Chains A and B, each alone.
Chain A
Amino acid sequence: MTFEADQVEQLCRAYGSSILRRCRAILKNDAEAEDAAQEVMVLLFEKGQQFRGDAAVSTWIYRVTTNVCLNHIRSESRRRTREQSGDVRDWIEKENPDAQRFVVQSDVLREALGGLSDLDQQIFVLRHVDGLRQDEIAEVVGRSRRTINKRLKKLDEWTEKKRAEVPS
């Protein structure tokens, strides 16, 4: 099973809101989410003819979307965006110091992901942003449920450690 361009276009229309919603949820920036969603769709067009149908279309799109967003988080442009968000923090700080803490915490996801392997980053997003079950995560990332179970246990420990590091 492969997809021709017309079929990919239909997929983009059908799953476009899902792609956009997930990009927004992961990147927490509408402008960047639009860029990422467009990249996801470009990849669907480019890879559609290589899609072998060994996974559901929905999980394939989830996987591509997750990877594109994680690449955005890893990219150089993230640093520039964070620097610009300093202007917003300035505004917030003047009006309410507690609010600044929230913004800092909302950046925790992208900053904390630096300490995880690529696979663990995917699992983290699918678990904590999308709220998927173990079997669903296994399907999206193409690993066994047992592997996901093990990784999640380690991730839970890592998450608790990170929670403790968030300034109160």
Chain B
Amino acid sequence: MSRAFDEPGRGAGCLSDLVLDVKVAEGHLAAPDAAHLETCAACAARLLVLEEQQRIWAPDVLRLAARAKAHARPRARAVWARRLFAGLVPAACAAAALVFFVVDEAPPDRSKGVAMSLFVQRDGEVFIGASGDAYQAGDAFRFRVRPRHHPYFMLVGVDGHGRTTVFYPLGGDAAAPLEDHDEVPLDASLVLDDAPEQEFVLGVFADRAVTAGEVARAVAAARARDGRLHEDALHDVTLDAELSWVVLNKGARQ
């Protein structure tokens, strides 16, 4: 049976994500929903997942919101200009038209950033993975990357202590040029080991052949005082490149 047609599992009377999203976003629920949440373990567990997603994705959300704000058309000014245009006498039409066209100009280029997609193979089944999900030892991963104008790319594994391993170009010591600048499926597949700690896979998109040493030093500098690397610290990595990453949380094998 296709997963595409399977409805999300939810008990009768349980709260939908539509309701729980309001709780996550605005902190409140209607009284009957709040009462249900207090007594329903499934809904409480789902709420925790949504809250955790909000926490983990907060940097991505901030970045997307900032880009969206920058790229949104100045709609209100255009509407104002059209009203002005409609109200002017014919003799003023030429001047009004100038105002209209100036404020209603074409939207700016909605450029999009670099990104990585994750494919996972587990026990003979393949699915599309997401950063922050729990994975198991033995899971195999492949990546598709979108470099967006950056001609060089390096895929680096980073363990919880900040130790780095170059996965692409495999065994290489510097970022390699990518032939396609739209979306590129990478050749190499990775298999997760059984070390218990969280791991990160870092996509380094650069305009030059950034070296593995530069990446290792930048990641090391972002570690916390206890020597551990936390996801939040990846935002502070200073490198002459644009970064994207996925977090691989390791869960117990079923």
Contact = CB atoms under 8 A, between A and B. Distances in A.
Given A46-B73, A130-B16, A133-B16, A99 B67 contact: no
Contacts of A21: 17, 50, 53, 57
B19 to A, nearest CB: 8
Interface of B: 1-10, 16-19, 21-22, 24-26, 50, 53-54, 57-58, 60-62, 64-65, 67-69, 71-73, 75-76, 110, 112-113, 115-119, 121, 124-128, 130-131, 140, 142, 144, 146, 182-183, 185, 189
Given A12-B65, A17-B24, A130 B5 contact: no
Given A12-B68, A31-B117, A91-B189, A103 B126 contact: yes
A62 B18 contact: yes
A56 B25 CA distance: 13
DSSP class of A's interface residues: helix, strand, loop or mixed? helix
**Chain A, interface residues (CB within 8 Å), range:** 35 or more
Given A12-B64, A84-B183, A130 B3 contact: no
A128 B1 CA distance: 14
B57 A16 contact: yes
B57 to A, nearest CB: 5
B61 A92 contact: no
Contacts of A14: 24-26
A131 B8 contact: yes
A13 B61 contact: yes
A89 to B, nearest CB: 9
A30 to B, nearest CB: 5
A147 interface: no
Given A28-B128, A31-B146, A42-B72, A128 B65 contact: no
Contacts of A106: 2-4, 127-128
A18 interface: yes
B69 A9 contact: yes
A62 B16 CA distance: 12
DSSP class of B's interface residues: helix, strand, loop or mixed? mixed
A166 B76 CA distance: 48
B61 A17 contact: yes
Contacts of B16: 130-133, 136
A120 interface: no
A144 interface: no
Given A17-B24, A99-B124, A106-B128, A130 B8 contact: yes
Contacts of A47: 75
Given A59-B18, A87-B185, A9 B65 contact: yes
B130 A41 contact: no
B61 A20 contact: yes
Contacts of B9: 131
A123 interface: no
Contacts of B19: 136
6 contacts: A46-B72, A91-B142, A96-B121, A106-B3, A106-B128, A108-B5
Nearest to B27: A14
